[in-house]
Amino acid sequence: MKKKSSSEQLLMLLKMRCELDAASVASALSMTKEGARQHLLKLEEEGLVKKECKSVGVGRPFSFYSLTSAGLAKFPDTHADVTVQLLDSVRNILGENALELLISDREKQTYSRYQKALESASTVEEKLERLSQIRTEEGYIAEWSKESNNYFFIENHCPICAAATACQRFCRAELQNFQRLFGEQYLVERTQHILADEHRCVYRIAKQSNS
């Protein structure tokens, strides 16, 4: 597999972390702070990155960098136009019920595939790790974290965003699948949503109090 260039790694880092200063970029990518600044300046000149100065405590403001719309476009929606056209055709020719059946069938197939991949996982951490790998391979740039007693499953990109925008049943089906994968002892809630103009989709996975 071809190794990503420093610029590609930097764009991916900003996609996943939303906003960073040069020092944080340098640390994450194992380069000097000056090297990070040069890469950020180059990407800013190309219109892929934007800079905003913010005050952090006492002292001079810091420069924070994030992706522009052109930068975000480097992580495209997979076959967006064709997908939306197909959904519209199903809806127009066969009706809403047919569209519901199509999405339901996709949900069942996706759940079956994920369940098979996670069936030997003995802990919630193992499930999250495997699910992150699968979803990243599918284009979601997924990761997970733990804070106190809660787990968070994070998708930094949505490769079917156009389809989900045209038909939000896709998002409901995704949430239902995650709930089934983690079982009744956990409550899975979406706390951030790309379709709500947030940077990523985040799911909180909390153990039920009666479990």
Q: For the chain, what is the mean pLDDT?
A: 85
| Span 61-92, pLDDT tens digits | 778 888 888 887 777 666 566 566 777 777 78
Share of the chain above pLDDT 90, in %: 32
Whole-prediction pTM value? 0.73
Question: Which pLDDT score is estimated for 159?
Answer: 82
Q: What domains lie within the chain, and their CATH numbers?
A: 6-72 (1.10.10.10), 80-207 (3.30.1380)
Sheet holding 150-155, edge to edge: 142-147, 150-155, 201-207, 186-192
Compute φ and ψ for 37, nearest 5 degrees: -60, -40
Helix (H, G, I), strand (E, B) or coil at 120: coil
Q: Taking residues 89-116, report their average pLDDT.
A: 85
Q: Which two tokens stand for residue 150?
A: 């809660």
